[in-house]
A and B are shown apart, each in its own frame.
Chain A
């Protein structure tokens, strides 16, 4: 087991419109990327638990050319709800850094 942060060179998060946020995990090597991709069956459940969303509501993309994994998650509350803490979802990637991958 190792954390996402050890398998990527750059992870970012951002809004994708007011109702979705999206996380891009950029890997450096095919090996690291494949390791995340191999976990794709168990990944939705883990990410769903981490971000407290329904696992079937998310979208996962594996961009082989870019060695990049993209995860899009519906926001629990729309962007800018009254007690928003991250208007652009720019810091939401931090949670996923420690996610353990087989």
Chain B
């Protein structure tokens, strides 16, 4: 479920970064203020535990395939929402850097998809609600299972939306959603059962841990609403800011393309703004060399929108060859320079 950099547009990536950074700031402040300082090492080590646990697989009965723990819900149950969110976020940072799971720009999306939903949506609004005030084994199982499924459905749906808004993948919305949601239903059920198994084991072996976890002051509507509002504000602010900035980018062509290749249903509201800004920056293009690209745009504007995709390589054999030759040469040059530097380094 890790969202990848390659599928992301900067506007979506930066917006989600801002949202996740906001949540991290909020949670850090919260954890700092309510801390009992025992929690700092506990969060750290539990993060490492989650990391290790994700590497251990088990066989899923009747399918022969194997699965592993995701762990967002487990951490929320053990640590409470804010500490759990920070812990999941830190695990994702490590995965992004060491295993290139997702990527650095997609980190914001991933933290949001895999941390925010279990910690701030399903834990308080599903798990806690079903568990009620006097939990028993049956309720615990139900609550955990449903919370895990809902959390993964939300997370995977959010991946679909982020991919869609980025417009890099050509997958239509319904196809992608129909692909993602059932898979994550299965993953969610497995995740639910695993979490139940671990939680009930801990409950039997060291009930005081679970009691402690359940007594974590149930978060009322107040802080959650704050978080949600902060998110919304951050998303709107950066979304607006980023698209403004992106539109002023001297290459208005991309925006034109994004508009025309079937994204207008979604970006409808931005349509006018981007169009206007693209027109302004077209007039104020400051690189004279850049004008050699310009004829493409007006020419294509009148034609069938689908043809507008053609870009610089618009079916012209000559430019295509020039492009391919140039690409190969640049690639060779890039690697050669690296090689040279390395040699020189060794000699020195």
- Report if A and B associate in a common complex: no
Chain B contact residues, CB within 8 Å of chain A: none
